[in-house]
Amino acid sequence: MLEQGKIDALRAQPVPAFSHLIDGRHVAASNGATMDIISPIDGKVLTTAARGTAADMEAAIAAARAAFEDRRWAGQPPSARKKVLMKWADLIEANALELAVLGVRDNGTEIGMAIKAEPASAAATIRYYAEALDKIYGEIAPTQSDVLGLIHKEPVGVVGAIIPWNFPMMIGAWKLGPALAMGNSVILKPAETASLSLMRMADLALEAGLPPGVLNAVTGEGAVVGEAMGLSMDLDVLVFTGSGGTGRRLMEYSARSNMKRVYLELGGKSPNIVFADAPNLAEAAKVTAAGIFRNAGQVCVAGSRLLVEASIHDEFVAAVTRAAEAMRVGDPLKTDTQIGAVNSEAQLTQNLKFVETAQAEGGQIVTGGTRILQDSGGCYMAPTIVTDVTPEATLAQKEVFGPVLGVTSFRTDDDAVRIANATVYGLAGGVWTSNLGRAHRMVRDVRTGVMHVNTYGGADGTVPLGGVGQSGNGVDKSLHAIEKYINLKTAWIRL
Ligand code: NAD
């Protein structure tokens, strides 16, 4: 149960300046540079963080490499590694409110969502992989009888993790959990506009007993420290969540440097398909609104395209509009806020531009479309619904990553599938129907990494999340994520 008084007390505390975590020590940028951290709640400077240099990133990678080579972590018995990771999860949980409030002050997510999606989910993820780490074995191949073919599962080495701003702790843990559980060393590169909570979470790992150098974290601009990470000749794996444009660059960096493995979790334009035979249209409307507007639409799997059967179009759009207008937008540190701040001025400007383009292309705004609560100094946008969006329109093709829902109607199942698949993305989708056969056909035919049936969002850590097409490659979450962080090595032994 969230207590407003405790949240208010935490938000009143000044936030100290943040520096890098390299080889177990907090260090400033090599040239002393810092960057202002602006809170999207009120537009004020919250604190500063180190504005990292390429040399800082190289130092962090060198520390991670040294930690990996001397086996100070990978060489510990699995039971010891498990104990450290379990303790880390406990510490994250023990500091959950403090971490969540710090994160919200930095990135603007409403606290009700942040407390669950961020520290609680991060702790659960770390614990999940800690529990798994001594249950993953090598294999013995069925070879001819005079040889023994052993397949070892080895840590890959040094992992770089570039994290976005929407859920830094949760997405950070999706990478850190399996990478550290398998014995790798890691360098984190949090996003410019949401680094604080993840940096604090990294500190807690050291407190839990993770040896220095095994987890390092460098703040700063993507184009500087992120690029230095991508171009490193000494990084073995690069894992990333963020935009397609950056993902493309990371693949280029890899090709131009040491051909490190690159795993990308990118954006989406996820179709939420509502048939007239949905079991409960009123419920579907509420979940549809939450599925695009929570965290101001800054959710990778957000159902940003509503495909609705023509016969119920007007009725259903009216219901989603009512649900959207009933959602309370505002100060993300108030416990009753349902839609917090947009992450930054730049993001808000971009969202509004998308709305302008949608109108120019024939879209009709049913609700929202504007910046609100300007007096606060923060970045707030009314939940926005645009109808008459053609499948070719910009709003149907490009990810906004904001509280903007585009509506397109369809007449047949084939129509729905064709429209759903008519983007370069393939991250998530949903279908609402009482017809079992239709539900399974949609799950089969809509090209995505995850399909929801008669719900939207809310999957837990036991199931994989990953995209197809230009939504990325590889998966986070579940035991399948571990494959990114191990090498298979064959030992062929003559008997
Ligand atoms: P972004 O690509 O701009 O930034 C993500 C990270 O990449 C940040 O840490 C940034 O500093 C870094 N970066 C930027 N330029 C870089 C460069 N040249 N080299 C190396 N690193 C660089 O994306 P964003 O705006 O922070 O995040 C929003 C995007 O992330 C959306 O498109 C969203 O859909 C996607 N996303 C995807 C998932 C998923 O699981 N698939 C989850 C959350 C967000």
pLDDT tens by residue, 414-472:
999 999 999 999 999 999 999 999 999 999 999 999 999 999 998 899 999 999 999 99
Q: What is the whole-number distance in angstroms between the Cα of residue 137 and the centre of ligand 1?
A: 34
Residue whose CA lies nearest to ligand 1 atom number 27? 242
pLDDT, residue 459, reads: 86
Pocket mutation for ligand 1, best pick of 243, 400, 465, 477 (most atoms within 8 Å of C-beta): 243
Distance between CA 17 and CA 455 in Å, rounded? Answer: 42
pLDDT, residue 458, reads: 82
Residue 108, H or E segment: none
Residue partners of 195: CB distance under 8 A and separation at least 6? 18, 37, 49, 106, 168, 219
Collect the ranges in the chain with pLDDT lower than 50: none
Ligand 1, closest atom to CA 265?
41
pTM of the model: 0.97
Ligand 1, closest atom to CA 476?
40
Q: What is the whole-number distance in angstroms between the Cα of residue 414 and the centre of ligand 1?
A: 33
Phi, psi angles (nearest 5°) of residue 69: -65, -35
- Residue 408 DSSP class: E
- Look up tokens 């510990």; give the residue: 76
Pocket mutation for ligand 1, best pick of 106, 121, 162, 299 (most atoms within 8 Å of C-beta): 162
- pLDDT mean across residues, the chain: 98
Dihedral sign, CA of 98, 103, 106, 108? negative
265 noted as active-site residue? yes
Q: In sequence order, what are the beta bridge partners of 431?
A: 273, 453
Distance between CA 295 and CA 338 in Å, rounded? Answer: 8
pLDDT, residue 1, reads: 83
Distance between CA 284 and CA 39 in Å, rounded? Answer: 34
Residue 390 CA from chain centroid, whole number: 28
300 noted as active-site residue? yes
Regarding the beta carbon of 230 and ligand 1, being less than 6 Å apart is answered yes
Radius of gyration of the chain (CA): 23
CB 451 within 8 A of CB 431: yes
| Annotated active-site residue in 300, 309, 379, 399 | 300
Regarding the beta carbon of 189 and ligand 1, being less than 6 Å apart is answered yes
pLDDT tens across 314-371, in order? Answer: 999 999 999 999 999 999 999 999 999 999 999 999 999 999 999 999 999 999 999 9
Q: What is the whole-number distance in angstroms between the Cα of residue 162 and the centre of ligand 1?
A: 8
- Look up tokens 């490659």; give the residue: 473
pLDDT, residue 99, reads: 98
Residue whose CA lies nearest to ligand 1 atom number 6? 164
User: Considering the chain, what percentage of its residues have pLDDT values greater than 90?
Assistant: 99
